[in-house]
Amino acid sequence: MKSKANIKAEFQENGYVFIPGFLTKEEVANINKNFSRVIKEVIPGMAENKVFYEDKTDTATLKQVMDIHTHDVFFNDVLSNGKFKDLAEFLLDDKVIGKNLEYFNKPPLIGKLTPPHQDGYYFMLDPSVAVTMWMALEPADEENGCVKYVKGSHLKGMRLHGRTKTLGFSQGIIDFGTDDDLQNEIAFPAQPGDLLVHHSLTIHRAGGNTTANRDRKALGLIYFGESAREDVEAKKAYQEKLQKERV
């Protein structure tokens, strides 16, 4: 078990921290049970721009669901009370607001790669005081698309992003792949209940799912520090632009 002091030191130095066994098997089973319920009962009532499929015509290819906390009491509680939020406050040295609770999957063979990006580019915060948490709900490795981080990238500023063709990750770093990126990139295979936490400026990506029979389900949580200011106008304009490009 990592000490609290080590968890914070790693986060500050590397821009991410890996916490094995953050949730117990029972806690993971409970999250999985509730995601199954949400997929069956809640998603049908959600707006189209919150629910993404690899193939729109096939609900078995569900890949991402956003803002689940605003539609479901159980997941609102996971985001806004308890150990995830406490950890976010500890790492950011700030009070935090739970902004998003997401479901991610990469279905076998068709689950696409996650382009290299910095979450802060999407968040539009000044200062960019925010963390993202990513928790494996089943084994994730290089074959089914585990998360990869560029160590120390949170200290090197925001990179240039441009439009991608990936649904759910519309922006990616356009010049990703420098020597510095590749030499410092580390893959994080994870088991159910293992937690990854990254700073909003940390560069990360994930491969596609090349396996024939394994999913890659994960829980995502986003927290903004109270000291971060959202550029509300810029964000609105950006959302409108995305919406226009989608039709």
Ligand X SMILES: O=C(O)CCC(=O)C(=O)O
Residue 85: CB minimum distance to ligand X, A: 17
Place of tokens 């209940």: 193
Q: How far is the CB of 103 from ligand X (least distance, A)?
A: 10
**By CB under 6 A, is residue 204 in contact with ligand X?**
yes
CA 95 distance to own-chain centroid: 20
97/113 with CB nearer ligand X: 113
As a whole number of angstroms, the distance between CA 134 and CA 222 comes to 9
State which residue, 193 or 220, has the beta carbon closest to ligand X.
220
What is the nearest approach in angstroms of ligand X to the Cβ of residue 39? 17
Query: Which among 77, 119, 92, 103 has a CA at the least distance from the CA of 204?
Result: 119
Q: Which of 35, 88, 98, 114 binds ligand X (CB under 6 A)?
A: 114
SS3 198: strand
CB of 153 to ligand X, least distance (A): 13
- Of 41 and 162, which CB lies nearer to ligand X in the complex structure? 162
Q: Which is nearer to ligand X, 31 or 147 (CB)?
A: 147
Taking the least distance from each CB to ligand X, the nearer of 4 and 121 is 121
| 218 and 105 Cβ atoms separated by less than 8 Å | yes
Q: b/e per residue, 157-194, with b = 16+ CB within 10 A?
A: eebebeebebebbbbbbeebeeeebeebbeebebebbb
Does 87 contact ligand X by CB under 6 A? Answer: no
Q: For residues 75 and 134, which CB has a smaller minimum distance to ligand X in the complex?
A: 134
Among 150, 190, 203, 206, binds ligand X (CB under 6 A): 206
- The packing angle between helices 4-14 and 83-92, to 10°, is 60
Does 220 sit near ligand X (CB under 6 A)? yes
Q: Is 64 exposed, middle or buried (0-12, 13-18, 19+ CB in 10 A)?
A: buried
CA 22, 24, 27, 33 torsion: positive or negative? positive
DSSP state of 155: G
Give how many residues touch ligand X by CB under 6 A: 10
Rule CB under 6 A: say whether 218 interacts with ligand X.
Answer: yes
**Residue 153 found at the interface with ligand X (CB under 6 A):** no
β pairing state of 96-104 and 218-225: antiparallel
Residue 218 Cβ, how far from ligand X at the closest point, in Å? 5
Tell me how far, at minimum, the Cβ of 140 lies from ligand X, in Å: 9
How many Cα atoms are found within 13 Å in the side-chain-facing hemisphere of 58? 7
Among 68, 78, 91, 147, binds ligand X (CB under 6 A): 147
How near is the Cβ of 5 to ligand X at its closest, in Å? 26
Q: Which residues bind ligand X (CB under 6 A)?
A: 104, 114, 119, 132, 134, 147, 204, 206, 218, 220
